[in-house]
Structure 1
Amino acid sequence: MSIHIAHTRRPAHTPNRSGFAAPIVFITAGRILRQLLNDRRTVVLILAVPSLMIALISAIMDAAPQVFASVGLILLAFFPFMMMFMITSITLLRERTGGTLERLMTTPTGKLDLVGGYALAFGLAAATQTAIAATVAYTWLGLETAGPVWAVFVIAISASLFGMALGLFVSAFATTEFQAIQFMPVFVVPQLLLCGLIWPREQMAGWLQGVSDVLPITYAVEALTEVRVNPEITSTMWTDLAVVGGAVLVAAALGAATLRRRTG
């Protein structure tokens, strides 16, 4: 009787998990935050530029404070969305082209760990950005809302997470930083034009209103409008926030699907 001994082959690399591990998420977030802090231009872009832009718009609208009350509040959410989209797409593109992402795919770091790490790191960056911009707007620029300030923070951070998840997704389709920036007219500018910031949505052409209805930032703007005019949190605001949250999950899932090894 012959005995056959099964030989097992050692895997060439550690398989990448699809699950979620909090310690790895915190490690990933810490690495990303250190990268951001080491880039002074990015720090200034995140922390100082939104406040300066809102202050400039306040000066432009000095004769119409009621208009600034609406526009300035919306910008507190739109700036985090736009900047997190831009910074995430460029940062992840660097990790893709530099081989960092490829190396991470050979470790126990899972896709959800990476997405969670990015969400935590950029969520903290957006929270800091919003805190500085809101302090400037409420303290020195005369911005006022009937609803609570914390609701503005929640909406702004939700918008920033949507920008992060969208940037994560589009980074897979760019090979240079210039190409990553070229996606802004496709994913960012339409939301700026159709969310109600530039012109009331109800006064747009019917087909543009239909397009606006499927853009997540439209609902962030509507939620901010609820906070501006209502002293209490309304069901409309929660519904709008749920729509933005759902968009974050969809964009994050699409972004996670692009996180794969390019070599076997």
Structure 2
Amino acid sequence: MNALLQTTGLTVRYGGVLANDDVGLTVGAGEVVGLIGPNGAGKTSLVDAVTGFAPARGTVSLAGRRIDRLPPHARRRAGLARTWQAGELFADLTVRQNVAVATGRGPLRNLWGDLAGRRPPGRDVDEVLELFGLHFVADRRPGELSLGRQKIAGVARALVGGTRVVLLDEPAAGLDTDESAEFGRHVRAVAESGLAVLLIDHDMTLVADVCDRVYVLDYGVVIADGTPQAVLADPAVRRAYLGSELAP
């Protein structure tokens, strides 16, 4: 497997609280890997550490290159993107403008790029809009779209430019069954285009349907990993969820 994202011994502390303890995971090109666990298990802390928004010990590698000493914006330019749990679209911009925000590197660089006829490497805005089926709503504002399409637009923005790995932090929160299924199809399409996707979500139907492999966190420690079917049937995983229904 061509591992685009790899963490080794990743450990996050907030004062006396151990949020992540020696976490190691890999996500390969063309793969959707799930990261699940009960509330407070350390999932978002791990995403923050990988993307540079939380101090951590251990290593983070992107396509074999260590990036754990880089600040968040440099990790993004290296090809590591993420979404956020909270709403992240600009209400006064169109969908196209929201997606295009990710291509900006400051007014002087944008001006030079325009004059030189250069574009940022990787996917451009129109390509991403087409991939996610957003081209026909590109001139609308987020408030005119369903919640499901707003979530898809948020992911689309993360893919513009030279993104190689994308971390999706609970993207299906608030979606109904049909919206979640549609969202899952887009996630699979992203992976099939050659990117690596790490999906964090509580929607077990979505996780089981779209993920190739799954890691389970509990109290900051990986307690299981494997195929969705094997992981969701693991007694240790069920105990971690305190008897919650995991199977779709």
TM-score by length of 1: 0.24
In terms of fraction of residues, the more strand-rich structure is 2
Instruction: Please say which structure displays the higher CA radius of gyration.
Output: 1
State TM-score, norm by structure 2: 0.25
